[in-house]
Amino acid sequence: MKRVFSAVRPSGELQLGNYLGAIKQWVEMQDEYDCIFAIADYHAITTEYDPKTFQQKVKDHMLFYLASGIDPQKCTLFIQSQNSNHTELAWILDTITTVSELQRMTQFKDKSQKEKVISAGLFNYPVLMAADILIYQTDVVPVGEDQKQHVEIAADIAKRFNHRYGEVFKIPEVKLVKETARIMSLTDPTKKMSKTGEDRSRINLSDADDVIMKKIMSAVTDSGKEIEYVEDKPAISNLLRIYSAYSGEPIEQIVAKFEGKGYADFKNSLAEVIIKKIGPIREKKIELEKDEELYKKTIFEGLEKAEIISRETLEKAKKAAGLI
């Protein structure tokens, strides 16, 4: 069975783009692959964050994963920083990664323009991500188009290590997530929906039903009244992608359903579709939050499994590099 590794940073609020682009697909993959999923908290501290609320963010992410259907009995689910094997391997990989490679990373260029202070951690982010992937002998990494470059550099680093020191790492392959997962902002359809953008630009998994309805009804639309999926109508096209992703209906069928109807009717129906999916997840998460022992048990058992797998790879890498 092929092994999958994927991780999400615990920054901001989990929103419906995260659900469609990662969590929903994780749930589907855990029955087909040997899955290892992590909360990438070390990656989250490469940009500005609040340490006082950070642990609650980590916990919220973990509980939303469980509430969405990720099953610790079917996969390995853990918190990245609790497994020091990742950072130990990252240092070894740092020594064979060039500055010029890291300078070419588009995510670094984008994020460094938004940060007041650019940390070495933000610059070295791709090397730690490479360690996250390679330490589990990963076959497949499911990512969006914006993260594809990170998997490609991980593959390059693995090939370089294997060539220099001997065969240790599997070469990971990119698995691009479904196109419908690319959900754009409700206030600016030219920008991807973000966990850290303004609250009204996204639907959070924690949003109450009335909040979801209000955000959808106030989402920006295009000129005209027709519900159509065309390039020059990015706002309504984005809402149609969301509708299709959550209802399971093809976009063409949704367009036909609302022929002759206005934006208000469409938005009201879209909000109901989202509430039907998100509501049960939100309520399940609230229920799980009451069971503190479940959370502790989940992260402890997940870490135990992750450490066993990763320790074996780390020792092989250290031996190959002459460190033991």
Residues acting as catalytic residues: 111, 192, 195
Q: Compute CA distances 285 → 17, 57, 185, 273, whole Å.
A: 18, 13, 24, 19
Q: Are 282 and 272 in contact (CB under 8 A)?
A: no
Q: Are 24 and 67 in contact (CB under 8 A)?
A: no
Q: Are 180 and 250 in contact (CB under 8 A)?
A: no
Query: Which of 15, 8, 62, 10 lies closest to 207 in space, CA to CA?
Result: 15
Both tokens of residue 295? 């959370």
Q: Which residue in the block uniquely carries the two structure tokens 């899955």?
A: 35
Query: Which of 11, 22, 27 lies closest to 68 in space, CA to CA?
Result: 27
- Alpha-carbon dihedral of residues 221, 225, 226, 228, nearest 10 degrees? -10
Helix orientation angle between 209-217 and 263-289, rounded to the nearest 10 degrees = 150
